[in-house]
Amino acid sequence: MGKCTNKELAIEATKARKLAVQMVYEASSGHPGGSLSCLDILTTLYFDTMNVDPENPKDPDRDRFVMSKGHCAPAMYPVLALRGFFPVEELHMFRRIDGHMSGHVEMNYVKGVDMSTGSLGQGVSTAVGMALAGKINKKDYRVYTILGDGEIAEGQVWEAMMAAAKYKLDNFCAIVDVNGLQIDGRTADVMPTEPKDKKFESFGCHVITIDGHDFDCIKAAFAEAATIKGKPTVILAKTVKGKGVSFMEDKASWHGTAPNQEQYMTAEAELDAYLKELEAE
């Protein structure tokens, strides 16, 4: 995939946000808040940074991605669909009993998903395993994973980072979606994890702190990560939970709540207006 302009990335991310809200609305179930917050990062990965081929999703030389905060399937599935892994129409099967798209990302039935996740802390651990396998097999692929900032309260995350540092996995890049909220409220109140940068550095990681909604910053961080030798990279991306939908932004209550019809229509109208604005530029 060639490099995309920031406008192209913003358009794809906005389309993905529309689809994410629609999926959760139609299913009357799902996790919109943290899905919307990580979509600029995820869009940049799949449309600009990663070496992937929708026509050959199991290419052994491809880059890998693991959605460690597995409940953010409403972010993962639309990006894969827009990137061409499967038709957008399949997204209507999200969380349906007769469908194949479960509420947490699933690799056996959804084309393009590299790892099934859901139990927090386990996704980043499998991503470290993939990166270690790449080193052992002398492959050039890179492995990326997105974690929630609530997720890093899980001890397993830190065990994974110790292993990534021990094995000098410079082909591994973890992005923490720092939106400051989790299901029970502010992460600072539920389980404080600051200073995140110093903690990851003390575990042997190269740390980059960025605005997770600024495409220039996101691109630059991934480019920097690719130059780091002998240690894993952690990108701390400051984001807004519910990004793009005014009434969802920075509200913990939208972690795992589906919008009603009126709320859905408001969200769709806002995202449509922003999309038209982008396309008119």
Domain contains 1? no
Ordered DSSP codes for 40-104:
HHHHHIIIII----TT-TT-TTS-EEEESSTT-HHHHHHHHHHHTSS-GGGGGGBT-TTSSB-SS
172-194 mean pLDDT: 97
- Output the pLDDT for position 2: 52
Q: Are 177 and 241 in contact (CB under 8 A)?
A: no
Predicted model pTM: 0.97
Reported confidence tier of residue 249, pLDDT bands at 50, 70, 90: very high
User: If you ran DSSP here, which 8-state letter would residue 167 be given?
Assistant: T
Q: Is the peptide bond before 195 cis (omega within 30 degrees of 0)?
A: yes
- Output the pLDDT for position 168: 98
- Output the pLDDT for position 124: 98
Instruction: Give the count of domains, the chain.
Output: 1
Cα distance between residue 248 and residue 255, in whole Å:
9
Domain contains 128? yes
CA angle 133, 210, 177 (to 5 degrees): 60
Output the domain CATH number for residue 212. 3.40.50.970
Domain contains 238? yes
- Output the pLDDT for position 281: 86
Domain contains 48? yes
Reported confidence tier of residue 92, pLDDT bands at 50, 70, 90: very high
Domain contains 80? yes
Judged against a pLDDT cut of 50, whether residue 1 lies above it is answered with no
Domain contains 31? yes
Domain range for 215: 6-280
Q: Are 30 and 93 in contact (CB under 8 A)?
A: no
- Output the pLDDT for position 45: 98
